[in-house]
Chain A
Amino acid sequence: MAHGPAKGIGRWLFTTNHKDIGTLYLWFSFAMFLLGGFFAMVIRAELFQPGMQLIRPEFFNQMTTMHGVIMVFGAIMPAFVGLANWMIPLMIGAPDMALPRMNNLSFWILPFAFLTLASTLFMEGGAPNFGWTFYAPLSTKYAPESVNYFIFSMHIMGASSIMGSINIIATIMNMRAPGMTYMKMPLFVWTWLITAFLLVAVMPVLAGAVTMMLMDINFGTSFFDAAGGGDPVLFQHIFWFFGHPEVYIIILPAFGVVSAIIPAFSRKPLFGYASMVYATAAIAFLSFIVWAHHMFTVGMPIAGELYFMYATMLIAVPTGVKVFNWVTTMYKGALTFETPMLFCIAFVILFTFGGFTGLMLSVAAADIQYHDSYFVVAHFHYVMVAGAVFSGTAAVYYWLPKWCGKMYNETMGQVQFWIAFIGFNITFMPQHFLGLAGMPRRYADYGLQFADWNMVSSIGAFMYGAAQLLFLYNVIATIRNGKPVSDNKVWEGAEGLEWEVPTPAPYHTFATPPQIK
């Protein structure tokens, strides 16, 4: 049944092909990335100077909320699901995903979830304004009417993620080519297997949390209403029971990408493969037992604070193993610095930096001071942007020639890298200083003493935003009229089954499974 893609829009609407669906996920996530990025630009433009210039404080709160929700659930997560769709079948020698029709469904409900969410911006009372963590009672008792749309869009995103994860797990467990044992799988496949398990475990908890909100708001229950015998702190526990594994859901596939690219451009096999697998599993396990370090200031018993503090610090150990392995892979390698490699090296440096600030935040006594300050904002942007987004960008540059059979413009890629790298650091490095000096997050205005660094930060943000437009242009230009590549192996140092199929990757690959030595 060797046939090509269907013609017209039907190809995309009814497709069950893992490559098509991967492409859809990637484009969708990039569109969401631009939308969320636009909101970030609005935020930084308002914070360019003290006082209120462009928007009203109520709208500012909607911007921070929508920026967070869209970046986490709309940009980063679907981007990695898209990479998983494209690459996992190619990497394990499978003809497609295990459940192709469910794959189609799990993508196509996503645009509706985000349309629902984005439509709240035009509703009376405005979009959700309670922060991406939507703490009760801010998100229940004091929420705008649009919170119900927010809840339903969360439900749909959750359903999409759960279906996507089940599909990924079924694919990896059942469809590996003969001879592809678990310990021979590329690390990207491993990290996604573990991520998918995390998703199946915690997305339903998020669904449970928003369901309880829905009932508190509309059906008179009091899960989170202290006046009715409930407890708003319970919301935070449930949210972070989901939310902490969620941050690893975002970063683990990024680890997988970096573990594929660094060996390719170091022309050396990955150092410490087995320890990478165990470290990933250890991080995943630990992610379930540290959630309350996000809420050191709620008035936990001292024993609880100490437990969550030490357990959190423990995560630095497997993460340190990973960083050590990446650095050691590069050590004495024949390094070249193409765009994907540049992004990966920046990832290792900046992610480690973000990890260290995370370690500072894990100290319960010190966190009382850092809590809800710009220091936290700086910390998680170092791990989310320099972590997940940089590695996603690296992945696109690394695999784009395989996907479309054309080479991107290397100079433009490197220019984009340097603008992004410098812009990123100009944006977020000063936010550490602001936070330590006491500037709280999620406010539309700030004291005059914070003016200089905020202006610097905003300039960096506009730079970083411009780099993304260059990225978009480079990708489109490559697809339209990039220089064709015909080698199966686009990069000389690249290893893995995905480099054994022709370039560009045909619509159907591995109809007969390859033999793994």
Chain B
Amino acid sequence: MTTLFDRIWDAHVVAPLPGGAALVAIDRVLLHERTGAAALNALAEAGRTVADPARVFAMMDHIVDTLPGRTDQTLMPGGQAFITETRAAAQAAGITLFDVGDPDQGIMHVVSPELGIVLPGLTLIAPDSHTCTQGALGALAWGIGSSEAEHAMATGTLRLTRPKTMRVTFTGTLAPGVTAKDMMLALIAAHGAGGGAGHVVEFAGQAVTALDMEARMTLCNMATEFSAFAGLIAPDDVTFDWLKGRRYAPKGAHWDAARAGWRDLRSDADAVFDSEIEIDAASIAPMVSWGTSPQASVAVTGSVPEDATSAMLDYMALTAGAPLVGTPIDAAFIGSCTNARLSDLRRAAALLKGCKVAPGIRAICVPGSSAVRRAAEAEGLDQVFLDAGFEWRMSGCSMCFFAGGESFAEGSRVISSTNRNFESRQGLRVKTHIASPETVAASAIAGAIADARELAGG
């Protein structure tokens, strides 16, 4: 009768609270330089301390530059203060910081799994909505605001109302060229950007368990685009094999004991969810967004819907009924906590090898972490990207969002492996189409939105 979520939640309830809420223990808190200083300084100003700094980690990812030779200075006006103040506050609080120039620096949701900071069965929070990414390892991981980060650091807990549960089952097998990114865009297109609101979503089914660890992270990453409280996947041997030996993962006898416990982290066969969705994985095609919400996505071979709202059509400069393939683009971006891990770069590079980005297209690749960058360079992927005409960057969130510094040209059209296509997300009036790394690579070569399967097949 018990769900995976129930098991994690019940193991973390410290005390019931009036009105049906609960005080829930928080195992890990992650911070980043965009809001880390605000949270830590507010705590200090209130005369409070971080209760257990050993379980808090800070990363420089959000506004740090990604150009080689970077320093604390940023292209974002005033960005340096976010970096230096977060560094000072983290040092004062005794928090481990992955600083600019640290070999383990990178996007928090890439670095934390890489280092085994997140583990199955943990509760992990960060003031970043894509914290749900880390549910891929069987943790209950979710984004919160700065006030909640302060609360968790001061008390080791959060005051929470128990979310509802939803299971999204992807049955069957994905077709070749279809990825975890396409699974999520298909789910959100079918059930809406608010479809998961109030629910912890467990992803299950044959097509989910068949995914490798990195693809599972892509899947859970966009649970927030579904407005879910969190997304998670039951840990299995894929998870355990991937985690073993990572820096902060348990070692020796602790590893054996931990893994034995983690094997129970799953939903019972007769578990009852508040809501269930089932999708035939074989029916999913490579997806691309056409509008300014992730729910405004269609198969790449499809067309802009006839009933598209005029606000979205005006912003995106598209017409209802127009095919997506062939829509000219100005730029292509491969990066972000969604799709910038080594496997993502490998798949994009396989398509780019021996090809050139179309004339006039600005193409950028930003590895998800410094470790991903090193691993990619060790197998020559950097040269594939560079030879094709891509920029090869240092790690960070980079141009996934426009913070006032570097951006794509005003009003330009960008195909992007990121997670959000909101108005002006990647620059003023920029028209973002989100898609898989394969679709981004193929479109960069074509100079227009393209179906990567044609390139791979041809």
Asked whether A and B interact, the reply is no
B→A interface (CB under 8 Å): none
A→B interface (CB under 8 Å): none
